Structure 1
Amino acid sequence: MRNPNRTLLVTLVTLALGIGAAQAQTAITGLGQSWPNATDVSTNPNYHVYVFERGGTRYIQVNDASGAVRGAFARTPYKLSGLPIGSDELATPDERLPAPASTAVESVYDDGAVQLFVARQADGTARLMLVPADCKNDPVECTGR
């Protein structure tokens, strides 16, 4: 026999945890900082990814393992754009670049709407590529000329 009070309690706890997790993933301030007060949502141990949101625009920042800012993107409902911060090249389907020398990519972030990949280069730089989740091709193809 089910206990309705227990079912209600489990439902409330699940909702509270889900809401807390969603709020923990986005911050309002700290973009451009090495160690912002935001949750690291990276899927790769070599990078830190932080998400900020303001005025309907979502900002996705990538730092390396030492905290150096490698780059950041802005995602609106209409466009993916690289921001002028960080040390690496940024490419999106809206801001295409020629293919990098090394096209071996690592996935570092996926929120279901966009995916972020990094292609490390021999000179120590990297190409950061933000693509829509429906990009079924190689991210280099989705962001290249």
Structure 2
Amino acid sequence: MCGNAWAQPTTAVSTGLGQAWPNAPDVSSSPRWHVYVFERDGIRFVQVNDLNGTVRGAFATVQGEFLALPIGKDSQYISTPQHQLDVSAQSPVEEVYKDSSIKVLLTPQINGKVQLNAVVLDCTGLDCSGGGRVN
């Protein structure tokens, strides 16, 4: 019988990006949302689910660059510093996640969708307006 020749990671790896109930801790600061953070090869992935486990959206980030991922019910409503969407000034905004470099804000839309706004906190050399322009 042959052994596994691949090097095993030294830390536990969270799995389940894109799933309703991934194998990762819920790091949401809101009781109304679930937020899961995954890391692999220096890239951080942030996923937002509603209370029913429905994936609403996710993005990847590394060194101030963001990429909206094509997963989730509201994937077309992901706003990042590189791809900013307008945010209605009348819409309530809720912070659902924050760490030392980013925060995630959710903005309900009239059509029932939710806009996910990724905002850079350490904005050295970056556009610090975050994930949306307020009208």
Give the ranges of 4+ consecutive aligned residues of structure 1 lying more than 2 Å apart after TM superposition. Answer: 98-103, 141-145
The CA distance in 2 between the partners of 1:61 and 1:83, in whole Å, is: 9
Residue 105 (structure 1) aligned with residue 96 (structure 2): no
The CA distance in 1 between the partners of 2:36 and 2:130, in whole Å, is: 23
Return the index of the structure with the highest Cα Rg: 1
Structure 1 residue 54, shift from structure 2 partner: 0.7
- TM-score (structure 1 length as normaliser): 0.72
The CA distance in 1 between the partners of 2:24 and 2:42, in whole Å, is: 18
Residue 114 (structure 1) aligned with residue 91 (structure 2): no
Contact kept in structure 2, 1:102 and 1:122, CA below 8 Å: no
Unaligned ranges ≥5, structure 1: 1-22, 136-140
**What does residue 11 of structure 1 align with?**
none
Structure 1 residue 99, shift from structure 2 partner: 2.8
Q: Which structure has the highest helix share of the two?
A: 1
Contact kept in structure 2, 1:93 and 1:143, CA below 8 Å: yes
Identify the match of residue 92 of structure 1 among 80, 84, 88.
80
Residue 123 (structure 1) aligned with residue 103 (structure 2): no
Residue 49 (structure 1) aligned with residue 59 (structure 2): no
Q: Which structure has the highest strand share of the two?
A: 2
SS at match of 1:107: strand
**What does residue 71 of structure 1 align with?**
57
User: Which of 1 and 2 has higher RCO (CA within 8 Å, sep 6+)?
Assistant: 2
User: Quick one: percent identity of the two aligned structures?
Assistant: 48
SS at match of 1:75: strand
The CA distance in 2 between the partners of 1:143 and 1:43, in whole Å, is: 18
Unaligned ranges ≥5, structure 2: 1-10, 124-128
The CA distance in 2 between the partners of 1:83 and 1:100, in whole Å, is: 23
Partner letter of residue 105 of structure 1? V
**What does residue 31 of structure 1 align with?**
17
Partner letter of residue 27 of structure 2? V
Structure 1 residue 112, shift from structure 2 partner: 1.6
Summarize the alignment of residues 9-24 of structure 1 with structure 2, pairs less than 5 Å apart: none
Partner letter of residue 21 of structure 2? W
Change (3 A) 1:133 1:78: closer
Structure 1 residue 101, shift from structure 2 partner: 7.4
CA-atom RMSD, angstroms? Answer: 2.0
Contact kept in structure 2, 1:91 and 1:127, CA below 8 Å: yes
Structure 1 residue 98, shift from structure 2 partner: 2.6
